[in-house]
């Protein structure tokens, strides 16, 4: 959390127009993009020159957000991205807590002499910014960006564009207010965002009802043909190989939310989605209910991390080997899973 002294200093830094770089994590999700573009709209009200940087592309269903066209994709334009970082007087890191999550953008960040502010809600933060507004109990980074703007005394400056972006971040990170991370405060923030013009029904439509039909067929295939339910371990999982993804014309973001499906089966508390990337690496998403800690599970066994009930990891083994390893681990965790 920020001390009063730090808040005054941040107000002083932001007191005159400066150059600011906002950095999102790799494969940014709704919270990362919503927080970043909401923050950009807010800061631009004060005449700051704000660049938003992403390590790689982000899904089509988030491209309705105001400011989306200005996002600099490091994978496409590395030089422009690096220049934006080196010119910045303040770098803001949103929705991650380890520089590992920004790939090679880290190189320019390490060279930069700028002030650094991180706003995030992931557990076990690394210490890489002198200003850290961190709360692992927050539903989303977007909720924290709202709190941060309030902390600076600028609540009244929130307008429709900011409200829409922050609402999208909160809504996507809470699974539309279903996950246990959703608090009374989350709903209070959302109420405030609505008062400031957030167009909630429209945003749900943009995000939820924006499928290509082939995407829906991929999800149907994954659930019908590929989902395994293991009642003895209160676990469900889905695997998708490259050739299966290709068959359904896979685009970034197409499997968003799929990992939640097994947890909708009665009695299932742990779910995993294994996706084979183009380079053969297996990307894994984990979800859980109640006390089963997937952040710890991902950290311990799959080189990843995240939140207690939502985390990610990876495996360099083949898909089959990865699944054998996963099933072996399930036996070790049987007591916890069934407890």
Question: Closer to Mn ion at the Cβ: 178 or 278?
Answer: 178
Chain centroid offset of residue 261 CA: 19
Maximal C-alpha separation, the chain: 61
- Minimum CB separation of residue 26 from Mn ion in Å reads 13
Task: Give the nearer residue to Mn ion in terms of CB position, either 173 or 261.
Answer: 173
**Helix or strand holding residue 93 (H, E):** strand 90-94
The phi-psi region of residue 334 (left if phi > 0; otherwise alpha if psi is between -120 and 50; otherwise beta) is alpha
CB of 142 to Mn ion, least distance (A): 8
Q: Is the Cβ of residue 141 or residue 235 nearer to Mn ion in the bound state?
A: 141
Q: What is the 3-state secondary structure (H, E, C) of 160-201?
A: HHHHHHHHHHHHHHCCCCCCCCCCHHHHHHHHHHHHCCCCHH
Cβ proximity to Mn ion: between 250 and 286 the closer is 286
Give the full edge-to-edge strand order of the sheet including 19-23. 72-73, 49-54, 19-23, 90-94, 115-120, 131-134
Residues facing 310 on adjacent strands: 287
Q: Which is nearer to Mn ion, 36 or 239 (CB)?
A: 36
Q: Which residues contact 85 (CB under 8 A, 6 or more apart)?
A: 21, 23, 53, 91, 105, 108, 109, 112, 114
Least separation, in Å, of the C-beta of 116 and Mn ion?
A: 19
Which is nearer to Mn ion, 53 or 337 (by Cβ)? 53
Nearest distance from C-beta of residue 311 to Mn ion, angstroms: 12
In the numeric block, which tokens belong to residue 251?
A: 């685009």
Q: How far is the CB of 168 from Mn ion (least distance, A)?
A: 12
Give least dist CB 14 to Mn ion, A: 23
CB atoms within 10 A of CB 137: 9
Would you give the distance in Å from CA 290 to the centre of its chain? 21
Quote the least distance from Cβ 119 to Mn ion, whole Å: 10
Quick check: 238 and 259 in contact, CB under 8 A?
A: yes
Q: Among the residues of 238-293, which ranges form H helices?
A: 242-247
Tally Cβ neighbours within 10 Å of residue 188. Answer: 12
Q: Which residue lies nearer to Mn ion by CB, 108 or 310? A: 310
- As a whole number of angstroms, the distance between CA 219 and CA 226 comes to 10
Q: Which residues are near Mn ion by CB under 5 A?
A: 31, 95, 140-141, 173
Least distance from C-beta 246 to Mn ion, angstroms? Answer: 29
**For Mn ion, which is the closer residue by CB, 90 or 311?**
311
């Amino acid at each position: 959390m920020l001390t009063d002294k730090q808040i005054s200093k941040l107000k002083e830094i932001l007191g005159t127009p400066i150059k600011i770089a906002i950095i999102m994590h790799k494969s940014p999700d709704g919270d990362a993009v919503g927080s970043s573009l909401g923050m950009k709209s807010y800061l631009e009200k004060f005449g700051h020159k704000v660049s938003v940087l992403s390590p790689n592309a982000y899904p089509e269903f988030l491209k309705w957000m105001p400011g989306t066209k200005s996002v600099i994709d490091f994978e496409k334009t590395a030089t422009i991205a690096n220049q934006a970082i080196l010119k910045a007087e303040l770098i803001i890191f949103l929705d991650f807590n380890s520089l590992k999550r920004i790939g090679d953008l880290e190189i320019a960040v390490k060279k930069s002499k700028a002030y650094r502010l991180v706003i995030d809600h992931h557990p076990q933060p690394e210490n890489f910014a002198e200003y850290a507004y961190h709360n692992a109990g927050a539903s989303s980074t977007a909720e924290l960006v709202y709190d941060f703007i309030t902390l600076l005394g600028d609540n009244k400056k929130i307008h429709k564009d900011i409200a829409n972006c922050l609402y999208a971040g909160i809504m996507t990170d809470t699974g539309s207010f279903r996950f246990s991370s959703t608090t009374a405060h989350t709903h209070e923030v959302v109420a405030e965002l609505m008062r400031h013009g957030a167009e909630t029904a429209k945003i749900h439509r943009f995000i939820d009802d924006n499928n290509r039909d082939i995407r829906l067929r991929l999800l149907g295939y994954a659930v019908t043909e590929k989902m395994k339910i293991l009642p003895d371990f209160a676990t469900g999982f889905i695997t998708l190989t490259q050739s299966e993804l290709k068959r359904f014309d896979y685009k970034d973001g197409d499997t968003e939310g799929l990992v939640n499906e097994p947890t909708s089966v009665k009695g299932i508390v742990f779910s995993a989605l294994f996706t084979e990337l183009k380079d053969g690496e297996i990307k894994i998403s984990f979800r859980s209910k109640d006390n089963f800690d997937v952040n710890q599970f991902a950290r311990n066994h799959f080189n990843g991390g995240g939140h207690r009930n939502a985390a990610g990891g990876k495996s360099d083994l083949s898909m089959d080997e990865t699944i054998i390893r996963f099933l072996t681990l399930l036996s070790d965790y049987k007591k916890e899973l069934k407890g």
